[in-house]
Structure 1
Amino acid sequence: MKKVNWKIEEQSHFLKRIGELLSRGYPLSEAIESVILHLPIEKKLQVNSILFDLKEGYPFYQALTTMEFNNYLIGYVFFAEQHGGLEKAFQEGSEMMLKRGSDVKKLKKLLVYPCFLIGLTAILFLFVEGVLLPRFSSLFTSMNLQENLFTKLIRMAGEYLPYLLITFMVISIFIGVFYLFHFKKLPHIKQASTLAAVPIAGPFFRLFYTHYFTIQLHYLLTGGLSVLSAFSLFEKNEKQPLYKEIGEEMKINLRNGEKFEEMLTRYHFFDRELFRVIKHGQNNGKLDQELYYFSKHCLRQLEERTDKALKIVQPVMYGLIGFLIVSMYLAVLLPMFHLLEGI
């Protein structure tokens, strides 16, 4: 069958509609059949082709793997099929991915126009530095006048700009090579720890990893599984190598008699509060509820931090553009005033 591309919004809405129908009492196959009616023809044919496998007893997450859905959405479905809370997991997973997609769209909208203005201003800068300033300099020389400080600064900026661009390109190439030949080969736990240590972006990664871990563990514990059994399922999650590795390590350490909450302190990509939340949940016998509320807390924190970052990005971008435009303006006017003083 011809490959069909699903945007992340389409994947999320697909699962969200299925979750809504499941909450109304629909069986999974009937819910999918109802959702198919509203799909474009190419997607309708693709989903119809996997319905037969579902009716034969194959798990839904494998069907989504065949359809090349997002790995985090597949992970939600994988865990949901283990604990039985399909409708709630489908809706919460899809809403989280829709929020993430919405934040990415906002960021693109915020950056497109400022980046265009920066590019246009950079072209004007090159024109001023390469065409206008040399002519002013020749006039200054012929009239025995000295260049003003601002003109000198613009000239210096023009001289160092190529070096800055070359440095940026070298750093970009180095990061790309580092990623392909070193970072990508590291264990996924080490990768997550490295990302969580990145300045500015690190807290976002920690909140995202913590939210996903706690909400899935909550569902499994609510479904009646023990902590050890829950990590056995984490271990079987082939589509998410990070959580698979966590499951493998946790399972071994639990069997060796280590305490659950103490093991979490080794994973620096989790929020520091998770240790206390789990310890408190084990003490009061409501670990599954504590995990649920903490996962909601992490999601709220992630949303608030994202909104705050987006509100900062735009003013900074426009401030930079304003500075560049004023610089161009002064680069032309100040030499003219200087020449008038020399006449």
Structure 2
Amino acid sequence: MKNHKWRMKEQAAFLRKTGELLERGYPLAEAIRSLTYQMKSRQKEDIAQALLHLREGHPFHQILHKLGFNQTLVGYVYFAEEHGSLADAFREGSTMILKRQDDVEKLKKLLVYPTILIAVTLFLFFFVEKVLLPQYILLFSSMNLKPNIFMRMVSFIGEASPFFVILLLLCMLLLLSYYFMTFRRLLPLKQRALIANIPFFGSFYRLFTTHYFSVQLSYLLAGGLSIHEALKVFEKYVQSPFYKQIGQEMQLFLMRGESFEAVLTHYDFFAGELSFIVKHGQENGKLSEELLFFSKHCLEKLENKTEKAFKIVQPILYSLIGLIIVSMYLAILLPMFQLLDGF
């Protein structure tokens, strides 16, 4: 299928509008056809091909996968086709993707200005360290004056910076080597477990994985499937090796006689509360509702943690930049006063 690149917001908007039309009673093909009048010319070509494949009987999630849609959105569509709540799932998936995209945009805005400041500051720093300070040090030595602490600090950072750069490059090389030689060869579940145990980032990853698993399982159970049948749906999701493997492995644990809440404790990439939510939902007979509520709680918690992270990162960045600028300023200004005192 020849396709054009869809931006993330365009993908989410398309899915959201499709869900809204489905809610109003439109069949899927008719809903998609109605949206073509709102599309750009390059997207109309993709939609025309999608409608052709849809009429030939291809699943909608496979069509979106061939169009290059985000894998998370494709997953929402796949599970929606299995449990039948297309409109709700389309809305849920587009809302989550838009929130993630907003976080990415915020992060970009947060980092652009400090990045420019850091670049300018580094340029000034090396100018001071390579041009001004050597002249000051030469002049101080001729007058038997000792360099002040800020001059020594700037000189030390300048001398040590090549070692820091080499160390950084070595770390990056080691990480890339580990990724290509070891990480990529691991099974999907092992990969996810390693990511979930990364300090700081792992907590975000666990919340996202728990949200996605909980909301899909909730919809499947609400559609009348048992846990075993729902896990078979995960197993058939060939576009995602991770969910295919987790569906297979969880079924094996259940066949060995383990309870579902006990099975969930085997996985580090799920939030610890998930097993308790499942146990409580099975006891009160409202497992699908409990999972849906918990998935929304995970998403809210993820948003709150992201906001807090932004509030922490920004002051730290500006503080570091300010410290470097003040050090340079004092390294230039204090020698002038020392020279005046020497005269």
* Coarse TM-score class (shorter-chain normalised): over 0.9
Check if 1:75 corresponds to 2:75: yes
**How many residue pairs end up in the alignment?**
343
Q: Distance in 2 between matches of 1:324 and 1:163?
A: 18
Deviation (angstroms), 1:184: 1.3
Moved more, 106-115 or 146-155: 146-155
Query: Partner residue of 1:148?
Result: 148
Q: Distance in 1 between matches of 2:137 and 2:68?
A: 61
Check if 1:341 corresponds to 2:328: no
In the TM superposition, 1:155-174 aligns within 5 A as 155-174=155-174
**2:204–2:302 contact (8 Å) kept in structure 1:** yes
Q: Deviations over 1:96-152 (max 9, x none)?
A: 001000100000001011011011101111011111010001101111111112211
Query: Partner residue of 1:85?
Result: 85
TM-score after normalising by structure 2: 0.98
Query: Partner residue of 1:111?
Result: 111
**2:126–2:158 contact (8 Å) kept in structure 1:** yes
TM-score after normalising by structure 1: 0.98
Q: Distance in 2 between matches of 1:33 and 1:276?
A: 44
Q: Please state whether the residue corresponding to 1:239 is helix, strand or coil.
A: coil
In the TM superposition, 1:101-140 aligns within 5 A as 101-140=101-140
Check if 1:65 corresponds to 2:65: yes
Deviation (angstroms), 1:256: 2.1
Percent sequence identity over matched residues?
52
**1:72–1:240 contact (8 Å) kept in structure 2:** no
Query: Partner residue of 1:209?
Result: 209
Q: Distance in 2 between matches of 1:195 and 1:49?
A: 37
Query: Partner residue of 1:318?
Result: 318
RMSD: 1.0
Q: Please state whether the residue corresponding to 2:57 is helix, strand or coil.
A: coil
| Residue identity in the other structure for 1:166 | I
Q: Deviations over 1:4-32 (max 9, x none)?
A: 00111111111000000001111000100
Query: Partner residue of 1:270?
Result: 270
| Residue identity in the other structure for 1:253 | F
| Residue identity in the other structure for 2:146 | Q
Q: Distance in 1 between matches of 2:2 and 2:255?
A: 47
Query: Partner residue of 2:38?
Result: 38
Query: Partner residue of 2:47?
Result: 47
Query: Partner residue of 1:222?
Result: 222
Moved more, 104-113 or 250-259: 250-259
Deviation (angstroms), 1:50: 1.9
Moved more, 290-299 or 252-261: 252-261
Instruction: Give ranges in structure 1 of 5+ residues lacking alignment.
Output: none
Moved more, 308-317 or 64-73: 308-317
Moved more, 257-266 or 212-221: 257-266
Deviation (angstroms), 1:2: 4.5
| Residue identity in the other structure for 1:287 | L
Q: Deviations over 1:320-343 (max 9, x none)?
A: 111111111111001111111111
Moved more, 146-155 or 100-109: 146-155
Q: Distance in 2 between matches of 1:208 and 1:2?
A: 32
**2:79–2:216 contact (8 Å) kept in structure 1:** yes
Moved more, 65-74 or 222-231: 65-74
Moved more, 212-221 or 61-70: 61-70
**1:103–1:306 contact (8 Å) kept in structure 2:** yes
In the TM superposition, 1:251-270 aligns within 5 A as 251-270=251-270
Q: Distance in 1 between matches of 2:341 and 2:89?
A: 74
**1:261–1:275 contact (8 Å) kept in structure 2:** yes
Q: Please state whether the residue corresponding to 1:199 is helix, strand or coil.
A: coil
Q: Please state whether the residue corresponding to 1:198 is helix, strand or coil.
A: coil
Deviation (angstroms), 1:222: 0.3
Query: Partner residue of 1:293?
Result: 293
Q: Distance in 2 between matches of 1:269 and 1:68?
A: 26
| Residue identity in the other structure for 2:189 | I
